[in-house]
Amino acid sequence: MKVIKVENQVEGGKVAFEILKEKLANGAQTLGLATGSSPLEFYKEIVESDLDFSNLTSVNLDEYVGLDGDNPQSYRHFMQEHLFNQKPFKESFLPRGIKDNAEEEVERYNQILADHPVDLQILGIGRNGHIGFNEPGTAFDSQTHLVDLDQSTIEANARFFDKIEDVPTQAISMGIKNILDAKSIILFAYGESKAEAIAGTVSGPVTENLPASSLQNHPDVTIIADAEALSLLEK
C-alpha cells in the first residue's frame, strides 16, 4: 500500500490524474468511480484535459435507494454534473436506486461488474472506514448488495440535503469483493475526520469492523491524503 501525502485536494487530483494517465497508457478500459467531495478535483483534472474517454467504460460504486437519476441529490446526477456531461464515456453504469425492485437491481449490477472488470477503482472513505457504502460489519466477500446506512453516514451526508429527514436510509453498493477485484485502487482522504479511519486502514488489524482495512489484502492500492487525514499515522 502506497501513501502519498499532498497539500490539499487540488494537488491530490493532479497526483491521481498522473496515475490515471499511466493506467490508460497501459491499456485500462474500465474505471470504477466514486461520488462525494473527495474525488471532485480529480474529475476536474479529467474534464480540463484533452483525454478522450469515448472508448472507455465507467462503473460507479453506489447509489441511494429512493432517488431516481433525475433527482439532484442522486449520484447519477452528481456524475453527470461533474464528469459525464463534459467527458462522455462509451458507457457509464450506476446502480439504479429504484425502491421496489432493489433485489433485481443487485443482480443486474453484479452482472455488469462481471462483464466489465475494473482496471482502476476510485474510492473515498467514510469516518467509520466505509468504502462504497459498505458499512462496518460488511463481509469481505460481499458483492453488490442493498445497504442500510449507518446513522453516522446519514449525518455525514445530511449536508447535501435540506434536512436530515430527506437523506435516504438505504443504498445499493458494490460489495467489498467487487472493490478488491479492481486491478488498481486509488483512495482519497482529506481532513481530520478521516484520520482514525486512515490509521486503521494502513496499519490497523484487517477487520470487518473497518471495511477499508480490507485494502491491505490488495496488491496495488495508492492512498492520496492530506496531513490532517494522515495525522494519526505519523505520530
Number of domains in the chain: 1
Catalytic residue among 62, 105, 150, 226: 62
* pLDDT tens digits for range 49-59: 999 999 999 99
Task: List C-alpha distances in Å: 171 to 21, 86, 154.
Answer: 31, 26, 11
Report the CATH number that the domain containing residue 143 is assigned in CATH: 3.40.50.1360
Residues 6+ apart with CB under 8 A from 111: none
Q: Is residue 233 part of a domain?
A: no
Q: Quick check: is 116 catalytic?
A: no
Q: Is residue 138 part of a domain?
A: yes
pTM of the prediction? 0.94
Catalytic residue among 63, 105, 119, 135: 135
Catalytic residue among 82, 105, 128, 150: 128
CA-based torsion, 203, 144, 141, 168: positive or negative:
positive
Range of the domain at 106: 2-225
Q: Quick check: is 8 catalytic?
A: no
Distance CA 41, CA 133 (A): 21
Catalytic residue among 45, 60, 105, 130: 130
Question: Which residue ranges in the chain fall short of pLDDT 50?
Answer: none
* pLDDT tens digits for range 162-198: 999 999 999 999 999 999 999 999 999 999 999 999 9
Residues 6+ apart with CB under 8 A from 130: 136, 150, 153, 211, 212
pLDDT value for 131: 97
pLDDT value for 22: 97
Radius of gyration of the chain (CA): 16
Q: Quick check: is 110 catalytic?
A: no
Residue 189: how many other CB atoms lie within 10 Å: 25
Q: Is residue 97 part of a domain?
A: yes
Q: Is residue 231 part of a domain?
A: no
Q: Is residue 127 part of a domain?
A: yes
CB 174 within 8 A of CB 61: yes
Q: Is residue 232 part of a domain?
A: no
- Run of H or E residues at 60: strand 57-60
Q: Is residue 197 part of a domain?
A: yes
Q: Quick check: is 130 catalytic?
A: yes
Q: Is residue 186 part of a domain?
A: yes
pLDDT value for 49: 97
